[in-house]
Structure 1
Amino acid sequence: MRGYPILLASLLVMIALPSSAADLSAQLNQFFKARDPQHAAGINVLVRTPKTQWPECDAPRFSLPGNSRLWGNMSVAANCDQNRRYIQVQVQVSGQYLVAKRQLVRGTSVKQNDFRMQSGRLDTLPARTLFNSDSVADAVVLRDIQPGQPVSLSMLRQPWRVKAGQNVTVIASGEGFDASSEGKALNNATRAQWVRVRMANGQIVSGRVSDDGNVLITL
């Protein structure tokens, strides 16, 4: 009978440790899911720091530098009043991303049906991988893409709306007036990009390219 209190105390310690581990993991998962609600359903946070270095309070306040990545390996500051500890975590994310259906050759234009969505780990993908096909229609391939290869923004560009040497209409607008004139584009530009234009009098102006290929200047 005298051994029961010792046995009970040992059992309580064994129960308390997993509970503490579960609490910190759950709190970190909640923190990262709130930070990235778009992918919250697929987020899983693994704590890499040994338990002996965990914060001592029950509800630490987590923070990250402003330029931190969304996923992958990172260090989270866990604050307990004046005491701060850094917790090493791996933020894993599962979801869908864009891959090529077939080989896409450099310099060719592509359509949405040249791609498909695939499920997998997003945190292991190259930077700027695309998670939908909204911006790929009529895009131009900048380098060969293999079947099944994840597609990143750096692999494609939008078609030129204006090309260097092309005559363009420049539309200037301001408070209470609009004026238009003709000029010659000095560089290639896609929709919404900046283009420099030499006007008939030799003046060089800069404006953004509209959907219809005009150059818009706001005065």
Structure 2
Amino acid sequence: MFESTLKTLGSLLCWCSILLATAAGAISFEEQDGNSVLEQRVRDFLEWEAQDLGRDIKVTPHSGSARLSNCHDPEPFLTNPEQRLYGRVSVGIRCESGQTRYLQADVSVLVDHVIVARDIEAGATIGAGDVELVEGRLEKLPRHALLELSEALGMSATRPLRTGALLQSHHLRKQRLVNRGSRVTVIAKGNGFSVRREAKALDNGSLGDAVRLNIADGGQLKAIVTGHGRLEVVF
């Protein structure tokens, strides 16, 4: 009788162990499946948000601290709409249960950026043959790296720049095209007319700057610098 009871208890314990193991496996599987959904939602969300920055966007979520039980429809959002969308990015996760968690992800973006194509002396004006575009990962570039050739062309070098150097905004300044007190040519344009006349500049100016001018009749006007000693007014 005693031996029979022990056998019965042993069988019950065995079945309980099997049931517990099965339940634990099911919970583990459900948790893993939920985290896969969460990570994929984050990838899709950040790839969409960063699509205008460049190409070949790669997102690696770090979701270990953001496990959400019973979260079958995670909704990612940016914790700070003004944050940059490359490098380490913070993401919030809303769940249908009302839970909110936060995680981080690494976002890598391939872009073109400007480098020096040949040695440039300090003070020289940057021309088309002085710079070129190469590929690089945006998150590894300095914050002030130039990404467009147009940002460099026509600018003046603030320091000697050597071939292959990565070009940054503080390496350049606008070239002065108009000097205060100098005589300049201003062209006034309107619907069906164009008038050219001489004037005296009252300000220094670089390309695109608005400069005050004294005209022959003693009046003043503002014009936009378009070249060396040349300005334009559009009516």
Question: TM-score category by the smaller chain?
Answer: 0.7 to 0.9
More deviation in 207-216 or 25-34? Answer: 207-216
Of all paired residues, the percent bearing the same amino acid is: 24
| Aligned position for 2:4 | none
Structure 1 residues 3-37: Cα deviation after superposition (integer angstroms, max 9, x where no partner): 55444444444444443333333222222222232
8 Å CA contact 1:33, 1:40 repeated in 2 = no
> How do 1:69-218 and structure 2 match up within 5 A?
69-80=84-95, 82-172=98-188, 181-210=197-226, 214-218=230-234
8 Å CA contact 2:109, 2:139 repeated in 1 = yes
Structure 1 residues 36-73: Cα deviation after superposition (integer angstroms, max 9, x where no partner): 32446432233345434659452314135443223233
Distance change in 2, residues 1:22/1:4 (3 Å):
same
Shift of 1:141: 1.1
Aligned-partner Cα distance in 2 for 1:186–1:218: 19
Distance change in 2, residues 1:202/1:46 (3 Å):
farther
Q: Which secondary structure state, in structure 1, belongs to the residue aligned with residue 33 of structure 2? A: helix
Aligned alpha-carbon RMSD (Å) = 3.5
Distance change in 2, residues 1:167/1:72 (3 Å):
same
Shift of 1:107: 1.0
Q: Which secondary structure state, in structure 1, belongs to the residue aligned with residue 140 of structure 2? A: coil
Aligned-partner Cα distance in 2 for 1:96–1:216: 33
| Aligned position for 1:62 | 77
More helix by share: 2
Aligned-partner Cα distance in 2 for 1:105–1:187: 27
Structure 1 residues 162-187: Cα deviation after superposition (integer angstroms, max 9, x where no partner): 33333223344567876554311233
Aligned-partner Cα distance in 2 for 1:92–1:126: 14
> How do 1:39-58 and structure 2 match up within 5 A?
39=53, 41-48=55-62, 50-52=64-66, 56-58=71-73
Figure out how many residues of one structure are paired with residues of the other and give that number.
219
Aligned-partner Cα distance in 2 for 1:15–1:84: 22
Which structure has the larger Rg?
A: 2
8 Å CA contact 1:33, 1:39 repeated in 2 = no
| Aligned position for 1:29 | 43
8 Å CA contact 2:54, 2:110 repeated in 1 = no
Amino acid at match of 1:75: S
Amino acid at match of 1:73: R
Q: Which secondary structure state, in structure 1, belongs to the residue aligned with residue 45 of structure 2? A: helix
Shift of 1:103: 4.1
Where does structure 1 lack aligned partners over 5 or more consecutive residues?
none
8 Å CA contact 2:183, 2:199 repeated in 1 = yes
Where does structure 2 lack aligned partners over 5 or more consecutive residues?
1-13
8 Å CA contact 1:34, 1:40 repeated in 2 = no
Aligned-partner Cα distance in 2 for 1:24–1:213: 60
Distance change in 2, residues 1:102/1:172 (3 Å):
closer
Aligned-partner Cα distance in 1 for 2:83–2:91: 10
Q: Which secondary structure state, in structure 1, belongs to the residue aligned with residue 35 of structure 2? A: helix
TM-score when scaled to structure 2?
A: 0.70
